[in-house]
Amino acid sequence: MVVQALERGDDRPLIRAGFTATRKVGGAVVRNRAKRRLREAARQLLPLHGRPGRDYVFIARGGTVNRPWPRLLDDMKSALISLAANQTPATRSPAVASR
């Protein structure tokens, strides 16, 4: 998966998230499953590791559907921690976690 974050620059402390999967991931059923898995992982991890005032985009890759659940959670957690540590205001930087 790939995770991107952008500091919004407003005063609202919301953490917003978006999810996408391209046709390279698979057919509609596979893409929907990949996005559902990313949504659930984000639901669990964004309150703990997300930064208020940022928008996150989670991009599914081919291995997202078959990745064991604990490994998917670890990948997302690592990406969120990496983004929190490396990002300065008003910059966009992707954190790439392995499939």
State pLDDT tens for residues 57-90.
999 999 999 999 999 999 999 999 998 887 655 5
The answer to whether 99 and 67 have CB atoms below 8 angstroms apart is yes
What residue numbers bound the domain in which 27 lies?
2-96
Say what the pTM is: 0.84
- The CATH number of residue 85's host domain is 3.30.230.10
DSSP secondary structure letters along the chain? -EEEEEE--SS----EEEEE--TTT-SHHHHHHHHHHHHHHHHHHHHHH--TTEEEEEE--TTTTTS-HHHHHHHHHHHHHHHHHHPPTT-EEEEE---
Overall domain count for the chain: 1
